[in-house]
Each structure stands twice: as structure tokens, then as C-alpha cells.
Chains A and B, each alone.
Chain A
Amino acid sequence: MICWKCHERLSSLRCASCGALVPPPAQPELFGALGLDRRYHVEAEAIDGAWRRRSKDTHPDRFASASAVERRMALQWTATLNEARRVLRDPVTRAWYLATGKPHPAESGGPKLSPEFLEEIFELRMAAEDTPGAVRDTAAQLRARLDADLEDLFSRWERGEGDLSPVPERLSRLKYVDNLLRELPA
């Protein structure tokens, strides 16, 4: 990439020769904003590291005496980088983001879950009042199976095989299971 101000080659978001800031993207791709590849398998430390580096380059304090436009760009970068870190650090929001472009399921609509699955969740919630221990075990198994499923889908996708279309359905189930686990007495 070339600096828009002095046309020098860029190695970071802030030009090494003139100090100009790369304009923030209007519709940021969150992995790209951090300079990361679009992958499900990414360590929290890698995200934090990328966030720290880029935040340093774009920190509004560095542009305190720059033009109003550049000051605004620095603020926008800060917002984008913080959002990217927040969404990508959590495996669930990261998975939603990769599969749908949004960090959360839609309020309504979304993947249709089988009646059997909802029935199972409902029965578990009924049973939770009497046998919370057994329900916790069952829910933990459901959770583990969904995790393994997601793991497999994303691993294949990262190898260039298959697509992510089954992911939202798995994530929706995960939401019900996690909600159940959260409601169980500790």
C-alpha cells in the first residue's frame, strides 16, 4: 500500500515518513482491520497483539496536532479496532461473524431448528428443577458435541473444503444449550 499523502510505501497504518494515517475502511472487515487472516482458529494472544500494534499506530493522541480529518480518522480507527477485538476474541461471536458477517444471530428468522431439538431443551429445563446434576451432564455433552461439530466445519473450511452454511444452525443450538447451562444452579 502507498501513503495517500507522500506516496511512500507503507508498512503500518501510520506512514513512517510523513506520519499520515491510512483512511479507515467505511465497511470494515474485522479480520482485515486487525491485519489478520480470516480464520476461526486464532489465538486470543494473536488478536490482542494485532490490536495493540494497530492501536498504537492509530492512537488519537498521535494526531492531536494533525488536521481535523485525520483526527476523525484516528477516532474511527480506534472504534473499528476495538470492535474487531471484541467480536473476534470470543469464539462464538467470531464464528457468527465468519459465517454470516454479523456477530450475533438475527432477532427473528434465522436457521430453523428441529422441533425435536426444542423439545429436548424444554424437557431438560423442566428436569433441571428436580435433577440439576443429571441435566448439567447432558447439557455438557450436547455442548461438547456442538463444539466438535463446529471445530470440524471450520477446520475443513480453512483447508478450502466445504462451506460454512451449516454453522448458523449449530450456533443457534449452542445458544439454547448455553442458556440452559447458565440457568442451572451452580
Chain B
Amino acid sequence: MAYSDKLIEHYENPRNMGSLDKNAEDVGTGLVGAPACGDVMKLQLKINDDGIIEDAKFKTFGCGSAIASSSLVTEMVKGKSIDFAEGIKNTMIAEELALPPVKIHCSVLAEDAIKAAIADYRKKQAERAATPSE
């Protein structure tokens, strides 16, 4: 199976590997798994009060396509708005990396992770708004 140069690039030099403080108020964490293969991915977003993604980090225990997908997606969302990040579809990732059909679920994992991270951030914000400030 021939993989695209872009995929190999991201796999060999993954961008934004690492983690952010998951307890920080401005960090949303998404932890997701791929039922088909049992791989797991953690993706974190640091979002400022204007809804701009200031930083993104990931750690993926999975195949090369999953690592490349998470690397690419963190690069795509950095400096962008939450709304933009929420609109990312796995098909965009799959197309960008030219993933073969059997590897589509790996890009689904990256989309799920972004969505989960945003949901976690929103939950934290709602909780913060609900707690009366002293």
C-alpha cells in the first residue's frame, strides 16, 4: 500500500505532540477510542476568551494514519476559532492525507477527538458561568 508523502511527513515528524494541563479552565480534553482496532487518542485544546484556539496538543497510541491525522488536525486548528474546529470533518483529513479506505476510521478518530475536546471545554465554561464568583 502506498502512503502519501504528506502522511509520511506527519508520521515521521508529528507536530504538537504532548499534553496540556487538563485541569486548567481554558483547556478542553478529548479522549477517544477506535472500536475497530482498539487504538486511543488524546487531544487537548487551549482556548482563549475570544474562542480562539491558542494551542493544541495530542498523544496517540495508534497506527501511523491515526498519528498523522492527529498531527494534521492540531496544525489545522491552531490560531483558528472553535467554530472552525467544530466544522472539521474526517473526510477533509482523509483527503488531505490521501488515506486508503481501510484507514478512514483513523481520521474519524481525529474528528471525534476534536469534537470531544471542544465539548469538554464548553462544559468547563458552563460550569464556570454557573458558579457564583466570590
Contacts and interface: CB of A to CB of B under 8 A. Distances in A.
Given A122-B42, A122-B61, A105 B33 contact: no
B40 A125 contact: yes
A179 B39 contact: yes
> Interface SS of chain A: helix, strand, loop or mixed?
helix
B31 A119 contact: yes
Given A107-B105, A125-B61, A183-B61, A175 B32 contact: no
B42 A179 contact: no
B58 to A, nearest CB: 12
B40 A178 contact: no
A172 interface: yes
A150 B21 CA distance: 38
Contacts, number: 47
B33 to A, nearest CB: 5
Contacts of B31: 115, 118-119, 122
A108 B61 contact: no
B35 interface: yes
B37 interface: yes
Interface in A72-113: 104-108, 110-111, 113
19 contacts: A105-B35, A106-B36, A107-B35, A107-B105, A108-B36, A108-B105, A108-B108, A111-B35, A113-B35, A115-B31, A118-B32, A119-B31, A121-B33, A122-B40, A122-B42, A125-B61, A172-B35, A175-B37, A178-B38
Given A107-B105, A108-B105, A113-B33, 12 more contacts: A105-B36, A106-B36, A111-B35, A113-B35, A118-B31, A118-B32, A119-B31, A126-B59, A176-B40, A178-B38, A179-B37, A179-B38
Interface of A: 104-108, 110-111, 113, 115, 118-119, 121-122, 125-126, 172, 175-180, 183
